[in-house]
Amino acid sequence: MKESCSPLIKRFELQISEAGQRGSEAVYAHLMNGEPLPVDRFAELLHMDAAEAQEALASYGEVDAQGRVVGFLGLSLVPTQHKLIVQNRTLYTWCAADAILLPQFLSFSALIESKDPVNGELIKLSVNEDFLEWTDPVPLSVSWVEDADSCHISDSFCQRSHFFANQETAAKWLSENPDAKISHVEDFYTFVRGGRGCC
């Protein structure tokens, strides 16, 4: 990613990139239960003061009208194009990549439902922490951006990571987004499983 917009965000990126960070996992666990999280509890879990928590949320979170955390690092209670169905509970992700990465990071199985951004075709796939189980249709592609701006992660990455039902729609989208990349979803899954990460 490009250089961060503040020393705090740079520190926060390092913190959340380390495997097994209990604070971020606890925030995810709260959201996985479908429950908004009070900001003071969010700050406590991540060992931040109130100002730091607000700054972190500006880049990596979502809050509702009551000021509660309803989205964090790709997982959201707010409807998006990408549904993440876990044990009959419907959650949402900020992008296609998040839908693939979160089950691996948090060790759960999920049914993902999305739509091709070009033709609106319904897309489904099943994933867990160990492997990609199936996709519909086959083959399935996913877009991503290698050089995202961590100061504006939503615009630079999240809004540009999609699933594509066929090569034609992927090619059409890529022609309008030449700095992005398109991978078969199986290759993308293997790529991030290898620990190299793309995003």
Q: Which two tokens stand for residue 20?
A: 């097994």
Structure confidence at residue 59 (pLDDT): 79
Residues 51, 116, single domain; the answer is: no
- In this prediction the pTM is 0.83
Kindly list the distances between the CA atom of residue 11 and the CA atoms of 4, 19, 112, in Å, as whole numbers in the listed order: 9, 15, 31
60: left (phi over 0), alpha (psi -120 to 50) or beta: alpha
Give the largest CA-CA distance in the chain: 49
pLDDT, residue 11, reads: 41
Same-domain pairing of 91 and 182 = yes
Higher pLDDT, 168 or 60: 168
Say whether both 171 and 112 belong to one domain: yes
pLDDT score of 73: 87
90 and 187, same domain (yes or no): yes
Specify if 62 maps to a domain.
yes
Least confident of 140-144, 158-162, 170-174: 158-162
16 pLDDT above the threshold of 90: no
Residues 21 and 107 in one domain: no
Task: Give the closest residue to 114 by CA, choosing from 88, 136, 130.
Answer: 136
Is it the case that residue 72 has pLDDT exceeding 60? yes
pLDDT reading at 121 higher than 80: yes
107 and 150 within one domain: yes
Residue 12 lies in a domain: yes
- pLDDT at residue 150, rounded to an integer: 56
Q: If you average pLDDT over residues 34-50, what whole number do you get?
A: 92
Q: And the tokens for 79?
A: 């409807």
- Amino acid identity, position 115: K
Where residue 20 falls (left for φ over 0; alpha for ψ -120 to 50; beta otherwise) is: left
**The domain containing residue 169 runs over which residues?**
82-193
As a whole number, the mean pLDDT across the chain is 84
The pLDDT value recorded for residue 129 is 79
Helical H segments across 61-108, by residue range: 96-106
